[in-house]
Structure formats: C-alpha cells, structure tokens
Amino acid sequence: MAELGRAALVICLGLSVYAAAAGAYAAYRGRRRLSLSARNALIASFVAAVVAVLVLVAAFLRNDFGFTYVAEHSSRRLPALYTFSALWGGQEGSLLFWLLILTGFAAAAVLLNRRSAPDLVAWVVPVLGGVAIFFSFMLVAVSSPFDTQPAPVDGAGLNPSLQNLHMLIHPVLLYLGYVGLTIPFAFGMGSLLAKRGDERWIVATRRWTLAAWGFLGIGQLIGAHWAYVEVGWGGYYAWDPVENAAFMPWLVSTAFLHSVMVQEKKGMLRIWNMLLVAGGFVLALFGTFLTRSGILSSIHSFTESPLGGWFLGFIAIVIAFSLALIFLRLPLLRTKTKLDSLASREASFLYNNLLLVAFSLTILWGVLYPILSEAVTGQRNHVSGPYYNFFLHVFGLPLLLLMGIGPLLAWRKTSLRTLARTWAWPAAVSLVVGAILLALGAGSSIPGLIAYTFSAFVIVSIVVEFVRGTRARKAVAGESWPTAFSSLVARNRRRYGGYVIHAAIVLLAIGIAGSSAYDTTREAKLRPGQSMEIRGYTLTYRRLVQRESENAREVRALVDVRRGTSSEGTLSAGKNNYPVERQVSNEVAIRSNLVTGEDVYLIAQQVETDGTVFFKAEVLPLVNLIWLAGFIFIGGTLIALWPDARESRRLADRYGYAAARA
C-alpha cells in the first residue's frame, strides 16, 4: 500500500503545479474555464492528500512495520489512541499533516468565496498552489513517510512524553493555526496580484485569521500545560526556540487583527497590513523550519536534516515574492489619510502594533542570536530566560495597560478632560488594589506588582465598557438589563467578543505574574515518615508504591499534604519506566486549590532503592488562572467569530453591487 501513498503524493504535487501554473496564467489572461480548472486542481489536491493520510493511518492501525515511519514511531504495545500522536509525531508525518490541512483549508477557502469574489479567487488559487507545491515536493522527494523496509517484529515505540492527550491535541491546534495563516496571506497577495486596492481580501479572510490566531493561542496554552504537568520542571514556558516559534507568529497576528480594524475604520495602514500578513505567514513557516532543522539546539529539535535548507530556501522565496509584490503595488495601497489624534482608539491600536511587533523582533533576535554570534565572532552564544523576561516586562506591561486604555478611548479623538472622566474609576480602583497588594507584600516583585495593578485597571475598564454599552442599549431599545446586555453583545460581536478575549489575556497575565514572581521552592531528602514545610503546607512522605501499566512500570512516592490542621489530600509523585522505549520519565504530582488558584507542585527527583526520596516542592500562586484564561479565551473568540446575518447581508450588498453586470 505504500505505493498508493507515494502515488497520491505525486498526484498531489502534480495538481499543485497545475493549480499554480494554470491558475496564474488563467488569472493573468482572464480565462474562465482554465481558472475553474485550476481551482478544481486545488480541491483535488486535498482529496489526494486525504488518500495519502488514510494509507498511513491504515498502516498504523494494522501495525504494518514494513513502513519505516510506522516502525520508528509506533509499537504493538502502543495504545490505539496514541497512534494518532505517532501519525504526526515524526518529521515526515507532520509534513503530511501540514499538507492535509493546507489543501483542506485551500479548498474550503476558494469554494466558500467562489461566487462572492471570483476575480480575487482566481489569483488566490495560484498562490495557494505555490505553497502546496513546496510541501508536496518535500514529501515526494526529500522526506517521504512511505519509505519501506523489511518489517521488524516490533516498532520502536512512541516517545513516552508524547503519550498523553495534550500531545494528541497540541500539534493539531498549532497546525490549524500555522496553516490557517496561509489563507489571509494568499488572499492578501491575491488581492495585490489582482490589482485591487480595496479591503475585499480582509473581509473574506477575517474569520479565518481570527480562527487561526485562536487555534495558535490555545495550541500554545496546551503546550504550556503539557510542559507543566508532563515535562515537569515546575514551569510552563522556557523560551525555548520552538516555543518562541509559535509565539512570534501569534504576536504578529495579534497586531494584524488590530490593525485591520484601523484599515476598516479609516482606510489607512494598508501597506502595513500587507506587510503584517506576509510577516505572520513567514514566521509560521519559520516556526515550522525551526522545529525541523537542527540549526538551533532546542528541547524539541529534530535531527539535523537536509529539510532545513529547503525550508530556508522557500522562506526566502516567499519573502522576496511578498516584498516585491507589495513594492510594485505601492501606488495602489498608498493613502493620504492621517490619524485624527494621538489620543484616539486608532492611535492606541498603532501603539499596540508597535509594541507587539517590537516584542516579536526581540524574540526573533534572541532565537537567531546563536547563529548570528557564531557567524560574526566564531563563538556561539545564546540568550535565555533573563533576556526574554526583560523584554516581556518592557513590552508586555505597557501592552497590558493598553488593553485597558484602548477601549476607553473613542475613535477619532478624545479630549483630555473626557479622558480624565472615563479613566477615573479604573485608575482609582487599580491604585487602591495596588496599594493593598503592596501592603500584603507584593512589593517583593516590582514587575509582578505592576502587572497586578495594570490588570485591575483593565478589568475595571472592560466592566465599565459593558455597563456603559448595556445602559446605552437600554435607553435606545427599552429592554431589561439582561436583554439589553445580550442584544448589545449580539449586535457587536467583534467588539464585545474582543473585550472577553482581553479579559482572558488579563487573567493570563495575573496567573503568570503570580506563579512566576511570587512562587516558592523547597528541596528536601526524606525517608518514609519524614516531612517538609513549604509556605504553610506540610508535606509528609508516607511510602513508595509500584504498579505495572500497559507499557510502563510505575513507581510512586505517596505524600500527604496538610495545611494547618486540615488535610489537603495525597500527592503521588515518582517515575515511569518504559521498557520498550528504554526510557524513564518524571511523573510530577500537582495539588490544585481551585478556590485560590494556587498549586502545590511536587517532583520526586531521585528515588533510592531504600525508599529515600529527594523531593523538590513548589508553591505557585494563581497559576490556575492561566488555564482558566484559556477557556475564557475560547469563549471570547467564539463570540467574535460567530456569524452575523446582518453583517453578511450588508457585505453581500456592498460587493454584490460591484460584481453585478448587465
């Protein structure tokens, strides 16, 4: 069956080449049937990709170790569910997965827009085809998942760190995000190729961008949660190049989501938006490249493989293409519109863009620093936590404050007196909160205290926005408070969904501040019966237990947790031994207090044969707010994404007119 898989990939490559070449020619010459044919090729490439994936899935499910890829990433003992993790757990499989989502999204995007923007779609098809060419070529010629070998008795098994639900979902979400960013890129470039200066491309891809950004955000949160509970060093983010690889496109996309609103309201920043959409896509590709080449040492790095060179080449082509196209179409994009005032919402979006892009650039610099320093000085240097945290404070804290300031500003212009009035409540509350926290000892970390104070400001300003809006709606429509509230949100989904998302980010900030600025760590060597104290908790080590699971031998130290006189349960921390993969993994124990959001985190660093255990314990305040923020983030994104019939009708009117012909 491997031949079928290989054939499907070759067919996919051929279709992509056709879609790109024929599509470009058809759009250039205005040939309708050829353009339709190219579009069909793009859709058919999705079908071919599906066939290839099905072949691989079938091979995994049958434990066909004649497939080299299956033998390397699966074993007979592997639980069925994790065969999917194995599917995208290796280089070739993950590339195939990328191709699947890419062709799927491409097919959907062109199909959904075929009637409403046919001239735009005509140029979007070759751009998407071009991207598909790269990935299918990689899979056909450089890194194929369908290599065969004489089948060994059993496979090598899946890395135990990947055998959990997190690693089942995390790559999917990240890929949906990364690949999702291709669609706005293709539409933006397509718009330029079609010589259109209007915002049709933004309107068509608004929900795509928001969804991709949402997936990328949640994917990262799940990755952080995985690091927290599985990798188990007591943290959730290590500024590892691969983590940064997902963070950078997310930051740039955040900037883009805001700056397109400025283009909508005022028609300005058109060039900037084109640059941002291309930048987001390039960073998504770069992120994919970072995790595949061995060029930077990272926890996640794949082996040094030739794939890296190809990726770099493709990224270079995309950058050159985008910049050239933007440059050529500059006259189309230029506007003379200016900002009305530096104290307006548009201006705050501009500041937020500058901060977000600046932050991404400093992260990029940090990621590339080892390569650059080696190239310049011959000595490879790298930066780590302190560097990134410095800039997180310098850029992140003002961004946090802006989330509160922006909504309180009106579009166009706000006078200082009005500003003073609208900011009175949020400022007052946040200063009081800050003073109280200072009195409670939060001064031990200045950035933490600032983060808390700013967060209070933002929360109050969001609440004020909702209250004001509901009150105004009530006055207009005479509805009751709840009805006014829901109709307010329903009629302005993007704005109020956005506020909910901001609230989620604020919770995230509070959680991060609490768990990183105000955490406590203790280490102790305990024999059964002994205890250790940490921040008011008493941890008493009872005994060791052992058990066998499907593919591991598990050793656990049972530890009772008490706070004062009340018992808080038992933690079991220890290690798992995986005989097939010949590996030992740390299994940490976490006791979450859902009321205070605090976690007691226990690592059994070393288990001796005589029952002595070396423990490391941490208390992390407010860390669970981070995970709560994820749910609120999803909610806010859904609200903002939700289809709005009124808006669709209005847009259909606008563009329906433009396309109407006698």
Partner 1 sequence: MRLALALSIAALLAVFLLYTSIAGGGTPSLRPSQLLANGHDGNRVTLSGKVVGHPTGNPGEGGLHFRMRDVNGTATVAVVYRGTVPDMFRTGRDISVDGRLRNGVFVGVKNTLVTKCPSKYSPKKSTS
Partner 2 sequence: MTLALVLGAALALACVLFVARPFLLDPEAKNDELDEPTAQERRRLELLERRDRALAALKEVEFDHRSGKISDEDYRGLVGALRRQAAEALRALEPTERSRMRNLEPPTQPDIPEPYPPPGELDPPTHPDIPEPYPPPGETEPPAPPQIPEPYPGTEPQV
Q: Which three-class secondary structure string do you get for 570-628?
A: EEEEEEEEECCCCEEEEECEEEEECCCCEEEEEEEEEECCCCCEEEEEEEECCCHHHHH
Using CB under 8 A, which residues numbered 617 to 656 contact partner 2? Answer: 644, 646-647, 649-650, 652-656
Choices 39-47, 105-113, 228-236, 525-533 (CB under 8 A): range interacting with partner 2: 39-47
Choices 8-16, 174-182, 394-402, 585-593 (CB under 8 A): range interacting with partner 2: 8-16
Q: Kindly give the pairing relationship between strand 520-526 and strand 589-593.
A: unpaired
Binding of partner 2 by 562 (CB under 8 A): no
Sign of CA dihedral 239, 243, 247, 249: positive
3-state secondary structure of 508: helix
Walk across the sheet containing 531-534 and list its strands.
531-534, 537-548, 553-563, 566-578, 583-587
Two structure tokens written together for 577: 């031994």
**Are residues 33 and 25 in contact, defined by beta-carbon separation less than 8 angstroms?**
no
Choices 300-308, 382-390, 403-411, 624-632 (CB under 8 A): range interacting with partner 2: 403-411
Choices 4-12, 113-121, 361-369, 630-638 (CB under 8 A): range interacting with partner 1: 361-369
Considering only 200, 258, 575, 591, the residue that binds partner 2 (CB under 8 A) is 200
Binding of partner 1 by 335 (CB under 8 A): no
Q: Which does 114 bind (CB under 5 to 8 A by kind): partner 2, partner 1, none?
A: none
Using CB under 8 A, which residues numbered 441 to 470 contact partner 1? Answer: none
Binding of partner 2 by 34 (CB under 8 A): yes
- Kindly tell me which of 568 and 647 has the beta carbon lying closer to partner 2: 647
In angstroms, the CA 28 to CA 18 distance is 15
Residue 463 CB contacts under 8 Å (≥ 6 apart), including other chains: none
**Ramachandran sector of residue 478 (left: φ over 0; alpha: ψ -120 to 50; beta: rest):** left
Site string for partner 1, 390-429 (x = CB under 8 A): xx--x-----------------------------------
For tokens 């890194």, what's the residue?
143
* Shortest separation between residue 209's beta carbon and partner 2, angstroms: 16
Q: Which does 11 bind (CB under 5 to 8 A by kind): partner 1, partner 2, none?
A: partner 2
Binding of partner 1 by 538 (CB under 8 A): no
Choices 5-13, 133-141, 390-398, 517-525 (CB under 8 A): range interacting with partner 2: 5-13
**Are residues 91 and 99 in contact, defined by beta-carbon separation less than 8 angstroms?**
no
Sign of CA dihedral 105, 249, 302, 78: negative
Choices 90-98, 125-133, 259-267, 453-461 (CB under 8 A): range interacting with partner 2: 259-267
Using CB under 8 A, which residues numbered 172 to 191 contact partner 1? Answer: 174-175
Sign of CA dihedral 300, 306, 307, 309: positive
Binding of partner 1 by 74 (CB under 8 A): no
In angstroms, the CA 73 to CA 57 distance is 12
DSSP 408-436: HSPSS---HHHHHHHHHHHHHHHHHHHHH
* Shortest separation between residue 379's beta carbon and partner 1, angstroms: 6
Considering only 20, 43, 110, 600, the residue that binds partner 2 (CB under 8 A) is 43
Q: Which does 488 bind (CB under 5 to 8 A by kind): partner 2, partner 1, none?
A: partner 2
**Are residues 453 and 506 in contact, defined by beta-carbon separation less than 8 angstroms?**
no
Considering only 94, 259, 344, 515, the residue that binds partner 1 (CB under 8 A) is 94
- Kindly tell me which of 568 and 644 has the beta carbon lying closer to partner 2: 644
- Which amino acid belongs to residue 422? T
Q: Which does 94 bind (CB under 5 to 8 A by kind): partner 2, partner 1, none?
A: partner 1
Beta bridge partners of 555: 546, 575
* Shortest separation between residue 515's beta carbon and partner 1, angstroms: 17
> Of 403, 569, 49, 595, whose CA–CA distance to 57 is shortest?
49
In angstroms, the CA 132 to CA 99 distance is 7
Considering only 104, 184, 287, 597, the residue that binds partner 1 (CB under 8 A) is 287
Q: How far is CA 356 from CA 174, 219, 464, 614, in A?
A: 20, 19, 25, 42
Binding of partner 2 by 3 (CB under 8 A): yes
Query: 351 burial class (0-12, 13-18, 19+ CB within 10 angstroms)?
Result: middle
Binding of partner 2 by 25 (CB under 8 A): no
Q: Which does 453 bind (CB under 5 to 8 A by kind): partner 1, partner 2, none?
A: none
* Shortest separation between residue 603's beta carbon and partner 1, angstroms: 6
- Kindly tell me which of 43 and 307 has the beta carbon lying closer to partner 1: 307
* Shortest separation between residue 417's beta carbon and partner 2, angstroms: 7
* Max Cα–Cα distance, the chain, nearest Å: 90
- Which amino acid belongs to residue 532? M
- Kindly tell me which of 307 and 456 has the beta carbon lying closer to partner 1: 307
Binding of partner 2 by 491 (CB under 8 A): yes
Displacement of CA 347 from its chain's centroid (Å): 26
Site string for partner 2, 160-199 (x = CB under 8 A): ----------------------------------x-xxxx
Choices 118-126, 327-335, 454-462, 601-609 (CB under 8 A): range interacting with partner 1: 601-609
What dihedral do alpha carbons 465, 466, 472, 473 form, nearest 10°? 150
For tokens 């890395």, what's the residue?
159
Choices 105-113, 348-356, 411-419, 549-557 (CB under 8 A): range interacting with partner 1: 348-356
- Kindly tell me which of 395 and 457 has the beta carbon lying closer to partner 2: 457
Using CB under 8 A, which residues numbered 451 to 490 contact partner 2? Answer: 468-469, 471-473, 475-477, 488
Binding of partner 2 by 300 (CB under 8 A): no
In angstroms, the CA 323 to CA 275 distance is 8
Considering only 354, 435, 438, 475, the residue that binds partner 1 (CB under 8 A) is 354
The count of residues interacting with partner 2 (CB under 8 A) is: 81
Choices 302-310, 463-471, 527-535, 652-660 (CB under 8 A): range interacting with partner 1: 302-310
Roughly what angle, to the nearest 10 degrees, separates helices 118-137 and 182-193?
130
Two structure tokens written together for 70: 């299956």
What does R_g of the chain's alpha carbons equal in angstroms? 27
Q: Which does 151 bind (CB under 5 to 8 A by kind): partner 2, partner 1, none?
A: none
DSSP 518: S
Considering only 445, 487, 583, 593, the residue that binds partner 1 (CB under 8 A) is 583
3-state secondary structure of 340: coil
Using CB under 8 A, which residues numbered 24 to 53 contact partner 1? Answer: none
- Kindly tell me which of 96 and 557 has the beta carbon lying closer to partner 2: 96
For tokens 């691969």, what's the residue?
242
* Shortest separation between residue 67's beta carbon and partner 2, angstroms: 13
* Shortest separation between residue 384's beta carbon and partner 1, angstroms: 7
